[in-house]
């Protein structure tokens, strides 16, 4: 098993939801964690709070900006000396009719959800090859596996992440670099809650055979599992309460 104690993990979108839960999970395993997010106020606040739990640093980055992502990896190496794990978690959702979708809105989803994975993987792999190995974990989605009528751009971006994961795993296995993805179902986080969604909340719950939505800690646990299991690469692991089994 890949021992996370003392390893350096970079987690994008780390200031809330799945990302924040994963930051805490890696700290619990003894890793040094770089919490990265576009939201500097919340990111720094959580890094300060979690410093009592372990070695954590905040770095602001917009994952759709290549120079930001390069700077994130460079800063990590400057401070901690390596990058052992990257969790490409940052992403946005979008809903709406495709015939009304503007290119600007479509492109924004692709830039963050898909280009962000490319930029993170590119610069992390450069460092991991120097280290002698590492793990890239991508946050895909159940909507990278099955279609959703009103999620054209999101389906496109997350479907791409699933195959980008396989490609990276195949390319760099010889360099002792693994790549896998987690595909969450709907998770109680941010705007996904009963108060925000009203009647639609129950519709979402009904789509999950287990009869509830997930919680961020359940996804974080899967990310840790992927990181630790050295025989695991190239897969997309659904953590979805049975959503994609139907």
d(CA 201, CA 213): 9
Smallest Cα–Cα separation from 241: which of 221, 218, 220?
Answer: 218
d(CA 150, CA 100): 11
Residue 47 placed within a domain: yes
Residue 2 placed within a domain: no
d(CA 160, CA 129): 24
Instruction: Please report the pLDDT score of residue 77 as a whole number.
Output: 98
Residue 48 placed within a domain: yes
Residue 125 placed within a domain: yes
Q: Which residues neighbour 35 within 8 Å (Cβ) at sequence distance 6 or greater?
A: 11, 14, 15, 19, 20, 23, 43, 46, 47, 50, 56, 57, 58, 59
Residue 81 placed within a domain: yes
The number of domains in the chain is 1
Q: Which residues neighbour 223 within 8 Å (Cβ) at sequence distance 6 or greater?
A: 22, 25, 87, 137, 182
User: Which two tokens mark 197?
Assistant: 């969604």
Residues annotated as part of the active site: 154
In tens, the pLDDT along 123-167 reads 999 999 999 999 999 999 999 999 999 999 999 999 999 999 999
End-to-end Cα spacing for the chain: 32
User: Which two tokens mark 119?
Assistant: 């930029």
Residue 27 placed within a domain: yes
Residue 196 placed within a domain: yes
State the CATH number of the domain containing residue 69.
Answer: 3.40.50.720
Residue 242 placed within a domain: no
In tens, the pLDDT along 1-29 reads 999 999 999 999 999 999 999 999 999 99
In tens, the pLDDT along 26-81 reads 999 999 999 999 999 999 999 999 999 999 999 999 999 999 999 999 999 999 99
Residue 179 has pLDDT above 90, yes or no: yes
Domain that holds residue 197: 8-237
Query: Is the overall model pTM greater than 0.95, yes or no?
Result: yes
């Amino acid at each position: 098993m890949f021992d996370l104690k003392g390893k350096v993990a970079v987690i994008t979108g780390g200031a809330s939801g799945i990302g924040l839960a994963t930051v805490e999970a890696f700290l619990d395993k003894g890793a040094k964690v770089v919490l990265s997010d576009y939201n500097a106020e919340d990111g720094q606040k959580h890094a300060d709070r979690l410093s009592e739990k372990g070695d954590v640093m905040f770095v602001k980055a917009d994952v759709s900006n290549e120079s930001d992502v390069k700077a994130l990896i460079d800063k990590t190496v400057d401070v901690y000396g390596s990058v052992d794990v990257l969790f490409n978690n940052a992403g946005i959702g979008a809903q709406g009719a495709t015939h009304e979708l503007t290119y600007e809105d479509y492109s924004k989803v692709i830039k963050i959800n898909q280009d962000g994975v490319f930029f993170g993987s590119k610069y992390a792999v450069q460092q991991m090859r120097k280290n002698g190995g590492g793990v890239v974990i991508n946050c895909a989605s159940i909507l990278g596996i099955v279609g959703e009528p009103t999620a054209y751009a999101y389906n496109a971006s997350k479907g791409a992440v699933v195959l980008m994961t396989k490609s990276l795993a195949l390319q760099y296995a010889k360099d002792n670099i693994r790549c896998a993805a987690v595909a969450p179902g709907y998770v109680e986080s941010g705007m996904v809650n009963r108060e925000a969604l009203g009647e639609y909340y129950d519709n979402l719950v009904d789509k999950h055979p287990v009869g509830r939505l997930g919680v961020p800690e359940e996804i974080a646990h899967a990310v840790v599992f992927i990181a630790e299991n050295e025989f695991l690469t190239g897969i997309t692991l659904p953590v979805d309460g049975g959503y994609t089994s139907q």
